[in-house]
Structure 1
C-alpha cells in the first residue's frame, strides 16, 4: 500500500472502481434500494468492488427486459391507428410502458 504525505499526516492512496459511464435509471434505483433496505449487502458489494459492475449489468438486463415486454404486450394488445387517433395511441403506449416497467421493477430492482 502506498501513502501520500499531506502536511504532517500520511493518507493511504485508495481508489474505488468507479463506473466508466454513469448508471441509468434502473441501476440508480437498485443502488438506492440496496442502500436503504439491504445496507449490509450494499456495503459488502461496495467494499469488494462488485457494486458498480453488478449495477451496470442489471441496467442492461432491465432495459432489454422492458423492450422485450413492450414488444410482447404490443403484440397481444395492438395499438389504435396513430394517424387517426393520436391521443388514444399515446394513452395505449403509455399504459403498455407502465405495465412493462412495473414488471421490471418488481422482478429485478426490488427483489
Structure 2
C-alpha cells in the first residue's frame, strides 16, 4: 500500500497510518501579531463562552489577526473614552498642577469607567 494517496473528488491527500488512511490537514500559516492585554482577555472569553467562534477562527488560521484587531480597537476606544470623559469632567493639566491627588483620583475613576465600557462593548460581547 502506498504511504500517500490523492483523492481527486475532494482534493485531499491522505497518509497511511497503520491500516487506515487519514487526511493530511494543516492549518494555514498566520502572520504573528502582538495581541496585547485586550486580545488576551477576549481570547479567554471566546475559549470559554463562544467555542464555535474560537474553533472557526483557529481552524481557518485567522485567530491571531482577529485578536490583534480586537486589541487595537479596544486601545483606541479606551484612549478616546478617557480623553472625552476627562474633558467633559474638567480634569485638566491645570487641575494636575493645582491638586495632584484629586487629579489622580479623578483620572483613576475615569480610567476604571472606560475599562468597564470597553469590556462590555468589545471584550465580553
Deviation per residue, 1:23-78 (Å, 9 max, x gap): 21110000000001111211111011111111111111110011111111011101
TM-score after normalising by structure 1: 0.80
Root-mean-square deviation (Å): 2.1
Q: How far is the alpha carbon of 1:79 from its aligned partner?
A: 1.7
Q: Give the gaps of 5 or more residues in structure 2.
A: 1-12, 16-23
| Counterpart contact for 1:17–1:52, Cα < 8 Å | no
Gaps of 5+ in 1: 4-11
More relative contact order, 1 or 2 (CA 8 Å, 6+ apart):
1
Map of 1:73 onto structure 2:
85
Q: Distance in 1 between matches of 2:119 and 2:109?
A: 15
Q: Larger radius of gyration, structure 1 or 2?
A: 2
Which one of the candidate residues 22, 42, 51 is aligned to 1:39?
Answer: 51
Q: 2:61 aligns with which of 32, 49, 52?
A: 49
Q: Secondary structure at the match of 1:74?
A: helix
Q: Is the 8 A contact 2:28 2:60 kept in 1?
A: no
Q: Size of the alignment, in residue pairs? A: 102
Provide TM-score, normalisation by structure 2.
0.72
Shift of 1:92: 0.4
